[in-house]
Amino acid sequence: MNIGTILAAISIIIVVGPIAAAVIMYKDNLIALIMPDIEELTDKIGDYFPRIEYVGYEIIDPESSFRVMFNVTNNSDEDLTFNTINFSAYCSQHEEVLLGYGHGEDFPLTISGRSSGILSLYVTCTKEGQTHIETHHRGDANFHAILKNVLVVVQGVEVELGDEIDVGPIEIPP
Amino acid sequence: MEFTKINWPGLGCSITAATLVALSILYAAPWWQVAIGDGVGQAEISPLDYKANLAGASIEIPIIWFLTLVGKLTMAACTVAMFIHSVSTQKPFSKHLLGFAYKKPFLILVLFIVMLVVSTYMVGTFFGVNVPLTGTITLSLFFGGATAKIPISTSFTWVFWLAVATAVLAIAAKIYEWKVLKT
Protein backbone atom coordinates (compact mmCIF):
# COMPACT_ATOMS: atom_id res chain seq x y z
CA MET A 1 0.00 0.00 0.00
CA ASN A 2 1.53 3.34 -0.92
CA ILE A 3 1.90 6.20 1.53
CA GLY A 4 -0.69 8.36 -0.25
CA THR A 5 -3.34 5.71 0.35
CA ILE A 6 -2.32 5.31 4.00
CA LEU A 7 -2.53 9.07 4.59
CA ALA A 8 -5.92 9.27 2.88
CA ALA A 9 -7.12 6.45 5.12
CA ILE A 10 -5.82 8.28 8.21
CA SER A 11 -7.66 11.45 7.11
CA ILE A 12 -10.91 9.53 6.79
CA ILE A 13 -10.47 7.59 10.06
CA ILE A 14 -9.71 10.80 11.99
CA VAL A 15 -12.98 12.38 10.85
CA VAL A 16 -15.29 9.38 10.56
CA GLY A 17 -14.00 7.44 13.60
CA PRO A 18 -15.16 9.80 16.40
CA ILE A 19 -18.47 10.59 14.66
CA ALA A 20 -19.18 6.90 14.09
CA ALA A 21 -18.30 6.21 17.74
CA ALA A 22 -20.72 8.97 18.80
CA VAL A 23 -23.54 7.53 16.70
CA ILE A 24 -22.90 4.00 18.04
CA MET A 25 -22.78 5.21 21.67
CA TYR A 26 -26.02 7.16 21.32
CA LYS A 27 -27.78 4.84 18.86
CA ASP A 28 -30.71 4.40 21.25
CA ASN A 29 -31.26 8.13 21.63
CA LEU A 30 -29.71 10.16 18.83
CA ILE A 31 -31.51 13.32 19.96
CA ALA A 32 -29.45 13.24 23.19
CA LEU A 33 -26.33 13.39 21.03
CA ILE A 34 -27.18 16.78 19.58
CA MET A 35 -29.29 18.34 22.36
CA PRO A 36 -28.34 19.27 25.91
CA ASP A 37 -30.38 17.73 28.74
CA ILE A 38 -33.04 20.45 28.88
CA GLU A 39 -34.65 19.16 32.11
CA GLU A 40 -31.36 19.13 34.03
CA LEU A 41 -30.47 22.53 32.54
CA THR A 42 -33.81 24.05 33.55
CA ASP A 43 -33.43 22.75 37.14
CA LYS A 44 -29.93 24.18 37.45
CA ILE A 45 -30.91 27.53 35.95
CA GLY A 46 -33.90 27.62 38.34
CA ASP A 47 -31.49 27.25 41.27
CA TYR A 48 -29.52 30.24 40.02
CA PHE A 49 -32.31 32.66 40.89
CA PRO A 50 -32.20 33.54 44.61
CA ARG A 51 -35.09 33.24 47.05
CA ILE A 52 -35.86 36.65 48.57
CA GLU A 53 -37.96 36.97 51.74
CA TYR A 54 -38.97 40.07 53.62
CA VAL A 55 -37.38 40.03 57.08
CA GLY A 56 -38.34 43.35 58.65
CA TYR A 57 -37.63 47.03 58.97
CA GLU A 58 -35.73 49.39 61.18
CA ILE A 59 -36.58 53.05 61.73
CA ILE A 60 -33.36 55.02 61.61
CA ASP A 61 -34.77 58.51 61.96
CA PRO A 62 -38.53 58.62 62.72
CA GLU A 63 -38.85 61.71 60.56
CA SER A 64 -36.70 60.99 57.58
CA SER A 65 -35.38 57.48 57.02
CA PHE A 66 -35.88 53.79 57.52
CA ARG A 67 -34.27 50.55 56.50
CA VAL A 68 -35.96 47.49 55.00
CA MET A 69 -34.27 44.11 55.19
CA PHE A 70 -34.63 40.99 53.06
CA ASN A 71 -33.12 37.56 53.45
CA VAL A 72 -31.53 36.40 50.20
CA THR A 73 -30.89 32.68 49.77
CA ASN A 74 -28.49 31.77 47.00
CA ASN A 75 -29.25 28.17 45.99
CA SER A 76 -26.65 28.02 43.24
CA ASP A 77 -23.00 27.03 43.55
CA GLU A 78 -21.87 30.40 42.19
CA ASP A 79 -21.51 33.67 44.11
CA LEU A 80 -24.25 36.21 43.45
CA THR A 81 -23.41 39.91 43.42
CA PHE A 82 -25.96 42.71 43.69
CA ASN A 83 -24.29 45.77 42.20
CA THR A 84 -27.02 48.35 42.77
CA ILE A 85 -30.70 48.66 43.67
CA ASN A 86 -32.66 51.88 43.28
CA PHE A 87 -36.39 52.47 43.75
CA SER A 88 -39.11 54.90 44.77
CA ALA A 89 -41.25 54.29 47.89
CA TYR A 90 -44.94 55.16 47.85
CA CYS A 91 -47.62 55.01 50.52
CA SER A 92 -49.64 51.82 50.08
CA GLN A 93 -52.88 53.39 51.36
CA HIS A 94 -52.51 56.66 49.43
CA GLU A 95 -50.87 55.36 46.28
CA GLU A 96 -50.16 58.70 44.67
CA VAL A 97 -48.03 59.90 47.58
CA LEU A 98 -44.30 59.56 47.08
CA LEU A 99 -42.63 58.85 50.41
CA GLY A 100 -39.04 58.89 49.25
CA TYR A 101 -36.28 57.16 47.41
CA GLY A 102 -34.24 54.15 48.34
CA HIS A 103 -31.08 52.35 47.45
CA GLY A 104 -29.17 49.26 48.42
CA GLU A 105 -27.00 49.64 51.49
CA ASP A 106 -23.38 48.46 51.61
CA PHE A 107 -23.40 47.54 47.95
CA PRO A 108 -22.04 45.72 46.05
CA LEU A 109 -23.34 42.83 48.10
CA THR A 110 -22.05 39.34 47.37
CA ILE A 111 -23.91 36.28 48.61
CA SER A 112 -21.65 33.24 48.42
CA GLY A 113 -22.87 30.09 46.70
CA ARG A 114 -25.16 27.88 48.81
CA SER A 115 -25.60 30.48 51.54
CA SER A 116 -27.87 33.29 52.72
CA GLY A 117 -27.32 36.94 53.44
CA ILE A 118 -29.22 40.06 54.45
CA LEU A 119 -29.94 42.66 51.79
CA SER A 120 -30.66 46.09 53.29
CA LEU A 121 -32.49 48.86 51.50
CA TYR A 122 -32.16 52.38 52.86
CA VAL A 123 -35.11 54.68 52.27
CA THR A 124 -34.81 58.45 52.62
CA CYS A 125 -38.12 60.28 52.89
CA THR A 126 -38.84 63.42 50.92
CA LYS A 127 -40.36 66.50 52.65
CA GLU A 128 -43.68 65.53 51.10
CA GLY A 129 -43.29 61.98 52.44
CA GLN A 130 -42.38 63.16 55.93
CA THR A 131 -45.38 65.48 56.05
CA HIS A 132 -47.65 62.71 54.77
CA ILE A 133 -46.50 60.22 57.42
CA GLU A 134 -46.77 62.79 60.21
CA THR A 135 -50.23 63.86 59.09
CA HIS A 136 -51.81 60.55 58.14
CA HIS A 137 -49.86 57.70 59.70
CA ARG A 138 -48.50 58.82 63.08
CA GLY A 139 -49.03 55.89 65.47
CA ASP A 140 -50.09 53.64 62.57
CA ALA A 141 -49.16 50.06 63.49
CA ASN A 142 -50.02 48.66 60.07
CA PHE A 143 -48.32 51.04 57.66
CA HIS A 144 -47.28 49.59 54.29
CA ALA A 145 -44.97 51.09 51.71
CA ILE A 146 -44.89 50.12 48.06
CA LEU A 147 -41.59 50.03 46.22
CA LYS A 148 -41.97 51.08 42.58
CA ASN A 149 -39.59 51.65 39.66
CA VAL A 150 -37.28 49.06 41.14
CA LEU A 151 -34.02 48.91 39.19
CA VAL A 152 -31.69 46.08 40.16
CA VAL A 153 -28.24 45.50 38.72
CA VAL A 154 -27.21 41.96 39.55
CA GLN A 155 -24.16 40.22 38.09
CA GLY A 156 -23.86 43.12 35.65
CA VAL A 157 -27.40 42.57 34.31
CA GLU A 158 -29.80 45.48 34.69
CA VAL A 159 -33.36 44.43 35.57
CA GLU A 160 -36.23 46.88 35.79
CA LEU A 161 -39.01 45.18 37.73
CA GLY A 162 -42.52 45.65 36.42
CA ASP A 163 -44.05 44.41 39.67
CA GLU A 164 -44.41 46.55 42.76
CA ILE A 165 -43.09 45.29 46.09
CA ASP A 166 -45.26 45.64 49.19
CA VAL A 167 -43.24 46.21 52.36
CA GLY A 168 -44.80 46.08 55.79
CA PRO A 169 -46.36 46.20 58.26
CA ILE A 170 -44.21 49.05 59.57
CA GLU A 171 -45.06 50.51 62.96
CA ILE A 172 -44.93 54.31 62.85
CA PRO A 173 -44.16 55.82 66.29
CA PRO A 174 -46.87 58.07 67.78
CA MET B 1 20.67 17.20 7.71
CA GLU B 2 21.16 20.16 5.37
CA PHE B 3 19.60 23.37 6.70
CA THR B 4 18.89 24.53 3.15
CA LYS B 5 16.76 21.47 2.63
CA ILE B 6 14.52 22.12 5.62
CA ASN B 7 11.06 23.48 4.93
CA TRP B 8 11.24 26.33 7.47
CA PRO B 9 7.63 27.52 7.19
CA GLY B 10 6.58 23.88 7.57
CA LEU B 11 8.71 23.50 10.68
CA GLY B 12 7.18 26.71 12.07
CA CYS B 13 3.72 25.37 11.25
CA SER B 14 4.39 22.09 13.06
CA ILE B 15 5.57 24.02 16.14
CA THR B 16 2.54 26.34 16.23
CA ALA B 17 0.16 23.42 15.53
CA ALA B 18 1.77 21.43 18.36
CA THR B 19 1.34 24.49 20.61
CA LEU B 20 -2.37 24.65 19.71
CA VAL B 21 -2.82 20.98 20.59
CA ALA B 22 -0.85 21.37 23.84
CA LEU B 23 -2.85 24.48 24.84
CA SER B 24 -6.05 22.60 24.16
CA ILE B 25 -5.06 19.53 26.19
CA LEU B 26 -3.55 21.46 29.11
CA TYR B 27 -5.82 24.51 29.36
CA ALA B 28 -8.75 23.92 26.96
CA ALA B 29 -7.64 27.29 25.56
CA PRO B 30 -10.49 28.90 23.58
CA TRP B 31 -10.11 30.73 20.26
CA TRP B 32 -13.26 32.80 20.79
CA GLN B 33 -15.21 33.64 23.90
CA VAL B 34 -18.51 35.19 24.82
CA ALA B 35 -19.40 36.58 28.25
CA ILE B 36 -22.96 37.30 29.37
CA GLY B 37 -23.28 39.86 32.15
CA ASP B 38 -20.75 39.54 34.95
CA GLY B 39 -20.54 35.78 35.24
CA VAL B 40 -24.16 35.07 34.29
CA GLY B 41 -23.01 32.99 31.37
CA GLN B 42 -20.02 32.34 29.22
CA ALA B 43 -18.86 30.24 26.32
CA GLU B 44 -15.29 29.40 25.39
CA ILE B 45 -15.09 27.89 21.97
CA SER B 46 -12.49 26.53 19.57
CA PRO B 47 -12.47 23.67 17.07
CA LEU B 48 -10.54 21.70 19.69
CA ASP B 49 -12.57 22.55 22.80
CA TYR B 50 -15.98 23.71 23.93
CA LYS B 51 -17.16 24.95 27.31
CA ALA B 52 -20.37 26.84 27.95
CA ASN B 53 -22.47 27.63 30.95
CA LEU B 54 -25.53 29.72 31.60
CA ALA B 55 -26.70 30.77 35.06
CA GLY B 56 -24.40 28.27 36.73
CA ALA B 57 -25.50 25.38 34.54
CA SER B 58 -23.03 23.73 32.21
CA ILE B 59 -24.45 23.35 28.70
CA GLU B 60 -23.17 20.03 27.44
CA ILE B 61 -23.91 18.84 23.93
CA PRO B 62 -22.32 15.38 23.45
CA ILE B 63 -21.76 15.66 19.67
CA ILE B 64 -19.55 18.70 20.24
CA TRP B 65 -17.15 16.62 22.37
CA PHE B 66 -16.75 14.20 19.45
CA LEU B 67 -16.36 17.04 16.93
CA THR B 68 -13.65 18.68 19.03
CA LEU B 69 -11.95 15.28 19.23
CA VAL B 70 -11.90 15.33 15.40
CA GLY B 71 -10.31 18.78 15.61
CA LYS B 72 -7.65 17.65 18.08
CA LEU B 73 -6.77 14.51 16.10
CA THR B 74 -6.63 16.46 12.84
CA MET B 75 -4.34 19.10 14.30
CA ALA B 76 -2.14 16.46 15.95
CA ALA B 77 -1.86 14.52 12.68
CA CYS B 78 -1.00 17.75 10.86
CA THR B 79 1.71 18.48 13.45
CA VAL B 80 3.40 15.10 13.03
CA ALA B 81 3.12 14.99 9.23
CA MET B 82 4.31 18.57 8.77
CA PHE B 83 7.28 18.03 11.09
CA ILE B 84 8.42 14.86 9.33
CA HIS B 85 8.00 16.52 5.94
CA SER B 86 9.88 19.65 7.02
CA VAL B 87 13.00 17.81 8.20
CA SER B 88 13.06 15.26 5.39
CA THR B 89 12.06 17.17 2.29
CA GLN B 90 14.26 15.05 0.01
CA LYS B 91 12.65 11.76 1.00
CA PRO B 92 10.17 10.25 -1.52
CA PHE B 93 7.28 10.19 1.02
CA SER B 94 7.80 13.84 2.01
CA LYS B 95 5.59 15.32 -0.68
CA HIS B 96 2.71 13.07 0.37
CA LEU B 97 3.09 14.22 3.97
CA LEU B 98 2.95 17.87 2.91
CA GLY B 99 -0.13 17.20 0.79
CA PHE B 100 -1.73 15.50 3.79
CA ALA B 101 -0.90 18.30 6.24
CA TYR B 102 -0.91 21.70 4.58
CA LYS B 103 -4.65 22.15 4.02
CA LYS B 104 -5.79 20.97 7.45
CA PRO B 105 -5.06 24.08 9.61
CA PHE B 106 -6.58 26.30 6.93
CA LEU B 107 -9.71 24.15 6.64
CA ILE B 108 -10.14 24.02 10.43
CA LEU B 109 -9.80 27.80 10.64
CA VAL B 110 -12.25 28.44 7.79
CA LEU B 111 -14.81 25.96 9.18
CA PHE B 112 -14.50 27.58 12.61
CA ILE B 113 -15.08 31.09 11.22
CA VAL B 114 -18.02 29.89 9.11
CA MET B 115 -19.52 28.17 12.18
CA LEU B 116 -19.13 31.38 14.22
CA VAL B 117 -20.73 33.54 11.54
CA VAL B 118 -23.64 31.10 11.11
CA SER B 119 -24.12 30.79 14.91
CA THR B 120 -24.16 34.54 15.49
CA TYR B 121 -26.54 34.95 12.54
CA MET B 122 -28.88 32.33 14.06
CA VAL B 123 -28.77 34.08 17.45
CA GLY B 124 -29.68 37.29 15.62
CA THR B 125 -32.58 35.55 13.88
CA PHE B 126 -33.98 33.99 17.08
CA PHE B 127 -33.34 36.80 19.57
CA GLY B 128 -33.37 39.82 17.26
CA VAL B 129 -29.94 40.95 18.36
CA ASN B 130 -26.82 41.08 16.23
CA VAL B 131 -24.01 39.55 18.27
CA PRO B 132 -20.73 40.85 16.85
CA LEU B 133 -17.76 38.52 16.39
CA THR B 134 -15.86 40.93 18.57
CA GLY B 135 -17.32 43.71 20.70
CA THR B 136 -20.09 44.36 23.20
CA ILE B 137 -23.84 44.68 22.76
CA THR B 138 -26.77 44.90 25.16
CA LEU B 139 -29.59 42.43 24.76
CA SER B 140 -32.99 43.64 26.00
CA LEU B 141 -35.42 40.99 27.18
CA PHE B 142 -38.98 41.41 28.42
CA PHE B 143 -40.42 38.79 30.75
CA GLY B 144 -43.18 38.82 33.34
CA GLY B 145 -43.50 42.58 33.18
CA ALA B 146 -39.80 43.07 33.85
CA THR B 147 -37.17 44.38 31.47
CA ALA B 148 -33.65 42.98 31.56
CA LYS B 149 -30.68 44.57 29.84
CA ILE B 150 -27.98 41.99 29.45
CA PRO B 151 -24.50 42.98 28.27
CA ILE B 152 -22.88 40.46 25.95
CA SER B 153 -19.17 40.70 25.12
CA THR B 154 -17.37 38.65 22.52
CA SER B 155 -13.72 38.49 21.59
CA PHE B 156 -11.11 36.45 19.80
CA THR B 157 -8.28 35.29 22.01
CA TRP B 158 -4.55 35.29 21.16
CA VAL B 159 -4.87 31.55 20.55
CA PHE B 160 -7.08 32.35 17.55
CA TRP B 161 -4.30 34.45 16.09
CA LEU B 162 -1.89 31.58 16.71
CA ALA B 163 -4.28 29.40 14.70
CA VAL B 164 -4.28 32.02 11.90
CA ALA B 165 -0.46 31.98 11.97
CA THR B 166 -0.52 28.17 11.78
CA ALA B 167 -2.81 28.23 8.73
CA VAL B 168 -0.65 30.87 7.02
CA LEU B 169 2.54 28.92 7.75
CA ALA B 170 0.93 25.73 6.40
CA ILE B 171 0.09 27.43 3.10
CA ALA B 172 3.55 29.07 3.10
CA ALA B 173 5.10 25.61 3.57
CA LYS B 174 3.41 24.43 0.38
CA ILE B 175 4.56 27.53 -1.53
CA TYR B 176 8.09 27.16 -0.09
CA GLU B 177 8.25 23.55 -1.19
CA TRP B 178 7.01 24.51 -4.64
CA LYS B 179 9.09 27.65 -5.22
CA VAL B 180 12.26 27.10 -3.17
CA LEU B 181 12.89 23.43 -2.44
CA LYS B 182 11.97 22.17 -5.92
CA THR B 183 14.41 24.53 -7.65
Which whole number is the average pLDDT over A43-62?
84
Which whole number is the average pLDDT over B122-129?
82
Q: Do B70 and A18 touch (CB under 8 A)?
A: yes
Cβ neighbours of B120 (radius 10 Å): 17
Res A62: pLDDT = 72
Contact assessment for residue A120 and residue A68, using Cβ atoms and an 8 Å cutoff: yes
Which residues are A140's β-sheet partners?
none
Mean pLDDT of chain B: 93
pLDDT beyond 70 at A95: yes
Res B75: pLDDT = 97
pLDDT digit string (tens) for B62-110? 999 999 999 999 999 999 999 999 999 999 999 999 999 999 999 999 9
Contact assessment for residue A143 and residue A134, using Cβ atoms and an 8 Å cutoff: no
Res A168: pLDDT = 78
Of A4, A44, A161, the CB nearest to B146: A161
Contact assessment for residue B64 and residue B83, using Cβ atoms and an 8 Å cutoff: no
Res A118: pLDDT = 94
Confidence bin at A87 (pLDDT 50/70/90): very high
Q: Do A155 and B74 touch (CB under 8 A)?
A: no
Q: How many CB pairs under 8 A join A and B?
A: 106
pLDDT digit string (tens) for B142-176? 877 889 999 999 999 999 999 999 999 999 999 99
Query: Structural domains in chain A?
Result: 3-35 (no CATH), 48-170 (2.60.40.10)
pLDDT beyond 70 at B183: no
d(Cα A37, Cα A56) in Å, to the nearest integer? 40
Residue of A nearest to B69 (CA): A18
Confidence bin at A136 (pLDDT 50/70/90): confident
Model-level pTM?
Answer: 0.84
Q: How far is B77 from chain A (nearest CA, A)?
A: 9
pLDDT beyond 70 at B1: no
Q: How far is B38 from chain A (nearest CA, A)?
A: 5
Range of A26-35, A105-114, B9-18, B116-125 with top mean pLDDT: B9-18
Res A56: pLDDT = 85
Q: What residue spans define the domains of chain B? A: 3-181
d(Cα A133, Cα A118) in Å, to the nearest integer? 27
Confidence bin at A173 (pLDDT 50/70/90): confident
pLDDT beyond 90 at A20: yes
Residues in chain A: 174
Q: Which residues contact A41 (CB under 8 A, 6 or more apart)?
A: B54, B57, B59
Is B26 touching A (CB cutoff 8 A)?
Answer: no
Q: Do B56 and A10 touch (CB under 8 A)?
A: no
Res B129: pLDDT = 79
Of B77, B144, B148, the CB nearest to A158: B148
pLDDT beyond 80 at B181: no
List all residues of chain B from 90 to 149 with a beta carbon under 8 Å from chain A.
93, 96-97, 99-100, 144-149
Res A93: pLDDT = 87
Q: Do B39 and A156 touch (CB under 8 A)?
A: yes
- Give the rounded percent of residues in chain A with a pLDDT score beyond 90: 47
Is A52 touching B (CB cutoff 8 A)?
Answer: no
Helical segments of A37-146, H only: 38-48, 127-136
Report which residue type is found at B21. Answer: V
- Burial, B135: exposed, middle or buried (Cβ in 10 Å; 0-12, 13-18, 19+)? exposed
pLDDT beyond 90 at A104: yes
Q: How far is B157 from chain A (nearest CA, A)?
A: 22
Which has the closest alpha carbon to B81: A18, A14, A17, A21?
A14
pLDDT beyond 70 at A134: yes
Q: What secondary structure letter does DSSP report for B102?
A: T
Res A83: pLDDT = 94
> What is the dotted CATH code of the domain comprising B3-181?
1.20.140
Which whole number is the average pLDDT over A133-154?
88
Rg over alpha carbons for chain A, rounded to the nearest Å, is 28
Which whole number is the average pLDDT over A104-132?
91
Lowest mean pLDDT among B24-33, B56-65, B66-75: B56-65
* 3-class DSSP state of B14: helix
Cβ neighbours of B12 (radius 10 Å): 19
Which whole number is the average pLDDT over A103-110?
92
